[in-house]
């Protein structure tokens, strides 16, 4: 893909190796390429959307695994992404319910400024790459620069192990929220970041900061979307046999972006359409994201569906 000439979605942030370890059987640990923004990009590539990933990994064995894995899912990795001292790892400890707890060995020092082509019509960022310096500042500056030609989306994907205190983390998160057009966040993230503030009050406050759409995932309760245009819509999850939740939120985010692209909600010129979003469009976005995520949780690891699986 020629980033200079082809319209595309750009995801900015970490690509890493998830060392997935069942708590009850640690001897069964396995290494799987992951990283929240990279998984978002992979979801989009598998769904047939033109997508690029700006990340940071090393020319080592794990880095080569990352490159092969994501390019096999039709993700274009930018040339600037290769240069880390070592490839980041995340140990994902899986409990008996399938939920994951993470610890990281993190290298995030991308070349600054991060290049954002004018043909990037949606720019997505978030997770620990938007929270850990020196790279977080470069991510923020890229998001600000992208607003001149792109819609900007953000998922804090909070990781307490690397984000410091909730007080410092929420201040940084809200800085990013203020430059985003669409924010996806989990109720667990909100609970940790705000130390128990009600989800509804956080949504109301964040909408005043600038986003036009806030989407909250709530596990088995399903997802909730509230728009600045006054639309409120809830999606009820389908019955799913959950294998694990690794990559579930990322594939949900990918589903949001896939639906936005399909609705022509892309490019800075679409910001007005996003500001006047109707209920049918919000429903389309939420139900597409839910369907994509439901497939992901039904199988092991961050393994989002291909387009033909959703046909």
The CATH code of the domain that includes 124 is 3.40.1190.20
Residue 182: which of 44, 281, 43, 38 has the closest Cα?
Answer: 281
Region 59-67: what's the mean pLDDT? 96
More confident: 252 or 244: 252
pLDDT the model gives residue 185: 98
Question: Phi first, then psi: what are they for 109, rounded to 5°?
Answer: -140, 60
Residue 1 lies in a domain: no
Residue 307 lies in a domain: no
Count structural domains, the chain: 1
Residue 258 lies in a domain: yes
pLDDT the model gives residue 18: 84
CA angle 188, 302, 235 (to 5 degrees): 50
pLDDT the model gives residue 111: 92
pLDDT the model gives residue 274: 96
Domain that holds residue 100: 8-302
More confident: 297 or 233: 233
Residue 242 lies in a domain: yes
Residue 200 lies in a domain: yes
The yes-or-no verdict on residue 128 having pLDDT over 80 is yes
Residue 311 lies in a domain: no
How does the average pLDDT of the chain come out, rounded?
Answer: 93
Task: For residue 25, give every residue at least 6 positions away whose Cβ sits within 8 Å of its Cβ, in sequence order, or none.
Answer: none
Residue 181 lies in a domain: yes
Residue 308 lies in a domain: no
pLDDT the model gives residue 302: 80
Region 139-162: what's the mean pLDDT? 95
pLDDT the model gives residue 299: 86
d(CA 196, CA 138): 30
- Considering the chain, what percentage of its residues have pLDDT values greater than 70? 100
d(CA 33, CA 10): 19
């Amino acid at each position: 893909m020629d980033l200079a000439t082809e319209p595309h979605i750009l995801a900015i942030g970490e690509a890493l190796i998830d060392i997935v370890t069942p708590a009850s059987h640690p001897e069964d640990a396995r290494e799987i390429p992951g990283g929240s923004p990279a998984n978002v990009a992979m979801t989009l590539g598998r769904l047939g959307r033109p997508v690029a990933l700006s990340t940071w990994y090393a020319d080592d064995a794990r880095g080569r695994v990352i490159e092969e894995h994501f390019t096999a899912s039709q993700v274009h990795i930018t040339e600037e992404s290769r240069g880390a001292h070592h490839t980041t790892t995340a140990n994902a400890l899986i409990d008996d319910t399938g939920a994951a707890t993470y610890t990281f060995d993190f290298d995030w020092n991308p070349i600054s400024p991060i290049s954002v082509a004018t043909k990037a019509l949606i720019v997505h960022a978030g997770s620990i790459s938007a929270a850990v310096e020196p790279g977080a500042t470069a991510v923020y500056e890229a998001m600000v620069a992208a607003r001149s030609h792109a819609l900007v989306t953000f998922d804090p994907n909070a990781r307490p192990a690397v984000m410091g205190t909730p007080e410092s983390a929420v201040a940084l998160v809200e800085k990013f929220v203020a430059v985003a057009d669409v924010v996806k966040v989990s109720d667990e993230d909100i609970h940790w970041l705000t130390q128990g503030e009600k989800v509804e009050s956080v949504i109301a406050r964040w909408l005043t900061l600038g986003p036009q759409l806030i989407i909250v995932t709530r596990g088995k309760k399903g997802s909730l979307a509230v728009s600045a245009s006054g639309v409120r819509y809830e999606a009820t999850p389908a019955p799913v046999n959950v294998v694990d939740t690794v990559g579930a939120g990322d594939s949900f985010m990918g589903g949001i972006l896939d639906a936005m692209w399909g609705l022509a909600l892309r490019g800075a010129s679409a910001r007005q359409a996003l500001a006047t979003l109707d209920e049918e469009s919000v429903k389309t976005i939420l139900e597409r994201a839910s369907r994509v995520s439901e497939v992901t949780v039904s199988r092991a690891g961050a393994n989002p569906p291909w387009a033909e699986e959703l046909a």
